[in-house]
Every structure is written in C-alpha cells, then in structure tokens.
Amino acid sequence: MPQRPPLLLFLFLLGAGLLALATPAALAQNHFIERNYRVRIAVKHEVTGLAIQGSGAYQVVSSANRPLCNLQPGEPYFIQITRGRPSDKTYRLVLHELNDHQVQFAIDQAKAAKDTYQMPVKVLRIPAPNPEDTRVLVTLGEFTTLAAAREATSKFQSESIRYVYEDRGRAKGGQVRLMGRDGSILASDEKFLRVSPADIDDDALAVCELKAGEFSPGALRESRVYRGDMELTINEEGTLTAVNDLWIEYYLYSVVAQEIGTDAPLEAMKAQAVAGRSEAVAKIQKGIVSGSFFDFFATAMCQAYPGKGRETAKTRQAVDATRGEILVCNSEPVDAVYSNCCGGVVATGQDLWDGEPEPYFFREVDRLDKNTPPDLSNWNAAYQWAATDVDVLCNPDQPGFPNYAKKYHHWEKEYSGAEFSRLADRMYGTGPVRDLVVQRRTPSGRVRKLQIVGENKTVTVHREMELREALGDLYSTFFSFVKEYDKGGRLSRLTIHGAGFGHGVGMCQMGAYMMALHGYNYRQILAHYYKDVKIRRLYR
C-alpha cells in the first residue's frame, strides 16, 4: 500500500536550493506542499448531529491538538453541537459575480483590481444548497462596518461595485460534543474535534447523519466509510460540518472509481487519476475552494467522492501507477476538468463559461486524427449533428462501449406545449409559452443564451446548469429542437435533440475509455484532450 509522503521527503521538497526538485511545477505548488498533499472534503454539511464508527482504533484530539480520548473499534459514537452565535463580520465590495467554472477569469480580474484600486482583493467561492448555484466573487477591501463599506462605495463609479458582501468566520460560543451510546460526554471543543485513525492505510470511519435524535445500528452499517482524519467542526452558520482530511492519493482511489467507473480500462483510469489530481491541486493552489474549512464538497460539481467503499484494487492500481503526477501548462497546474461524454465535439471553456481562454482547452471533433471542427453555431448544423450518427470516439456503436453510457451520446426529449408551459411557469412564472428562441449558440454547438417567450413573462436563461434545468434536466447544453405551434400561436409540441452528458470541456471520459480499449496509454489520452501540457510529478 502507498504511504503518506514521509516527513523527510516533505522537508526535502521544501528546500529552496535543491536543483533536482526545483522544477517550475514543484515551485508552483508551495501552498499544496505546505499541507503535505492533503485535501479536505465536506462529506456532511450543515447537519445537527452525526453517528460515527471506526473499523479500528481512533484518537480524538481538540482544536488545540490536545489528545482527549480514544474510540474503540466497532463501537458507535455520537456527535452533537450547541449552536454558536455568528462571528465578527467583515464587509467586502463585490466587483464581479461569476459562474463557478470561471475560476481563472476571477483570479485575473482580482490581479487587475489590486493594481487598479491599491486595496486588498479577495476571491471568494460561495457554496449553495444546490451545487450548480455556487458563485465566485471578486471582492475589494475589508471593512468592519456596513456603513464604512457603503461610504467606500461612493468613491467608485456606481457601475464598478455590484453590492456589499458580508463575510463571516467560524461561529463563536458553540460546542462540538462527542458522546458514548449511554449519552455521556467523552470530549468537547468550541471549534472542532479531530478523529484520527491509528492505521492510516486500512482503518475507515463510517459516518451517518442523525435526524431528530434517531439512531439505529443499521444506519451505520449502510453508511459511507472514509479513510484518513475526520474533522467535526462548527461552521459559519453554527451548525455541524464533517470534513474528511486525507492524503490526495487516498481521495483519488474513490474519485477514479466514481467518476469513470470500476469497469474502465486501466489506462483510462490512469488518465482519470492524473486529471482528477491536477484539477484538485490547481483549485487548491489558486485558493478557489468551496468553504472556509474545507476544499470541496463530495459531489460531482467538484469531483464525486463516495469514500473508501467505492474503491477497487484496479482503481488503487491506477492511482498508484500515476502517484503524484499532475498536468502543467506554462509552469502552472492545469485545472483539468472533464465530462462523461462530449457528444462528439470537445468544447472550450469559453463555449460554456466565458472568462479568459485557457491555453490547454481547445475545440475539435473527438477523433484520433487532428481535424478542424465544423461551425455548429447555427440551428441547422447543430440539429444535423445532434440528430444523426457521427464517427467519433464516444459513439456507442463500438465493441466494448459501456452499456450504462450509451444513452448519453445522442438523446431526445419531447414535450407537449402544455407540459413545457407548466415546467416554464413553475420555474419562471411565464404562463403559457408561445415560443422558445436560441439567442446564442457557440461553434461547438452548445447553447449559451435561451429566451422563453411566455404570455405572462419573457425570460432569458444563460447559465449552463440553469439552461439544462430550464428544459427539464437535460444531459447537456449541446442540443437543438423542433417546434410546433397551435392555431393560437402557442407552442404545441417541443422535440429536443441533444448530444453528450456534461459540459464537454477537457477530457471526454467515454472517449478516454475507448482510446484505452484501442491500445492508447494514459499519456496519449491526456495529450489528446489537453493541449500543450506536460506531466510533472509532485512527489514519489
């Protein structure tokens, strides 16, 4: 089994004068190196109580790193909190509010703002109950009162400042309590309790949410289990968040299994491991994370992480074989996003999310030969592509293509006019829908701006996930449609023809799957989907 990088290696990597490790990639990773290559994943967020159970012995320590007690293997324990009061507030002026995928653009805008205004600048990632609604804010200044923030706003042109954002740290005055099955309090802390395994390689901690104080042993047996440490913390809202703190290699054992599947060829799994590691490192290094006390949620909006139970020997083999490897471009870690199925055309980030162009994303038909992609920005070209069969890597009519993904390459969705009107009216209050108009489509065929014309209201939808939701949870924004109207001019039937599953930027997982079946190795797969990148190893 792989081990956590030893302390000697950790100190060795930090040596500024060591020529052998002083590569641009290594020097770019200081923030990640300082935390010893660990990631922090919120596996339970804003709950009031938890039950935990370790497969082996665990130690509980305080936020001051003082040992408090030990947990017995197989014994259930309970976590409850007393809610704290909101912490001190800091007010910031918001210059830009961006989509969650516009990370690099946010950072570029922050750098420009710092030079322009000569004031503190901070980029904040604001999570939401629905992960698709997560926003990235570029903020200016730090003010202790709302009045001071408003006074500062008057010094700028009105269009420069969008609004004032209230930033808060950890709630104060609360308490996290660890209790035995008899209700006795075994440990407590005003900030967090950290639960650490004696055997970091093999032990795992089961975690399940408690609702209204109810508990049954079966709930723990059926819950997800996690490697590494578990930090049980009072968050900004004064509720409880469970943060799984573990070495990134252990994290990837689970991510690879969930993201590309346990039946994928080994080389495709290796490509997934490098892409997943690179994406996590890039986001951590840039400081664009999901919360104050953790890096990412465990959902597919970041990278899907179901814990140790999803691992297999093959996914561990793929991660171990690429240990420490990330993609770099121009000496910077690559935010190597990926999607399940590109529908035959790989998109750029600007096709989906605007912002400055990333040099490693490019648009092309997903074939092994280099090609010039067609311009699918008009209705007819997009319709022909989405409604007809095309020879591409993610075409499911190939031997070995996984059955579960066949439905994603080309798909249809059909509504009567009344059905779609009910959907649009429920979401936007449009009333009966008279028309549906694509106002902007990118050359990769993705819809960027859609107008829904209703009798009560006309709305314009332009965010990727909102577009998919507006038409009934579509697999992607790579779609076209055919409309029919009744005698009164209302929409009577809507047939949607679509291609792909996910955003379509970066690696197409089903394309990688088929490349591996055709004998290509993981380095060739990654070179196919990311332009002008190199593989660099952070540690051995």
Domains annotated on the chain, with CATH? 7-84+174-325 (no CATH), 89-168 (3.30.70), 338-505 (no CATH)
pLDDT at 28 over 50: no
pLDDT at 321 over 80: yes
Binned at pLDDT 50, 70 and 90, residue 78 comes out as very high
Mean of pLDDT values over 460-469: 89
Task: Look at residue 87 in the predicted model and tell me its pLDDT.
Answer: 62
Given a contact cutoff of 8 angstroms between Cβ atoms, the answer to whether 474 and 468 are in contact is yes
DSSP string of 213-241, one letter each residue: T---HHHHHTSEEE-SEEEEEE-TTSSEE
Q: Which residues are CB-neighbours of 159 under 8 A, at least 6 positions away?
A: none
241-272 tens-digit pLDDT: 999 999 999 999 999 999 999 999 999 999 99
DSSP label of 522: H
| Sign of the alpha-carbon torsion through 329, 360, 272, 264 | negative
Q: What percentage of the chain has pLDDT greater than the value 70?
A: 87
| CA separation for the pair 495, 514 (Å, rounded) | 30
Task: Look at residue 21 in the predicted model and tell me its pLDDT.
Answer: 38
CA 93: distance to chain centroid? 26
Polymer length of the chain = 540
Task: Look at residue 2 in the predicted model and tell me its pLDDT.
Answer: 41
Task: Look at residue 3 in the predicted model and tell me its pLDDT.
Answer: 44
HSE of 408, CA atoms in CB hemisphere, 13 A: 24
Binned at pLDDT 50, 70 and 90, residue 147 comes out as confident
| Sign of the alpha-carbon torsion through 521, 524, 530, 536 | positive
| CA separation for the pair 228, 247 (Å, rounded) | 7
Binned at pLDDT 50, 70 and 90, residue 12 comes out as very low
Q: What is the 3-state secondary structure (H, E, C) of 400-437?
A: CCCHHHHHHHEEEEEEEHHHHHHHHHHHHCCCCEEEEE
> Which residues, in sequence order, are bridge partners of residue 195?
60, 230
Strand pairing class (205-209; 135-143): unpaired
Q: How far is CA 478 from CA 1, 173, 261, in A?
A: 42, 50, 23
Give the DSSP H/E element, type plus range, for residue 527: helix 522-529
pLDDT at 345 over 80: yes
| CA separation for the pair 33, 303 (Å, rounded) | 21
Cα dihedral 317→321→324→326 (10° resolution): -110
Q: Which residues are CB-neighbours of 484 under 8 A, at least 6 positions away?
A: 417, 491, 492, 493, 494
Q: Which of 93-102, 194-203, 364-373, 523-532 has the lowest mean pLDDT?
A: 93-102
Q: Which residues are CB-neighbours of 298 under 8 A, at least 6 positions away?
A: 41, 42, 43, 244, 304, 305, 306, 307
Which of 293, 252, 385 is CA-nearest to residue 87?
293
Q: What is the pTM of this model?
A: 0.82
Q: Hey, how many other C-beta atoms are within 10 angstroms of the C-beta on 107? A: 18
Tokens of 207: 């975690």
Token pair 């471009």 is found at: 329
Tokens of 438: 């694509």
| CA separation for the pair 343, 357 (Å, rounded) | 22
Q: Hey, how many other C-beta atoms are within 10 angstroms of the C-beta on 426? A: 9
Better-predicted residue by pLDDT, 389 or 223 = 223
Task: Look at residue 482 in the predicted model and tell me its pLDDT.
Answer: 94
Better-predicted residue by pLDDT, 340 or 172 = 340
pLDDT at 114 over 80: no
CA 234: distance to chain centroid? 23
Binned at pLDDT 50, 70 and 90, residue 216 comes out as confident
Considering the chain, what is the average pLDDT of its residues? 86
SS percent in the chain: helix, strand, coil, step 5? 30, 30, 40
List the beta strands (DSSP E) in 174-214. 175-179, 185-189, 192-197, 205-209
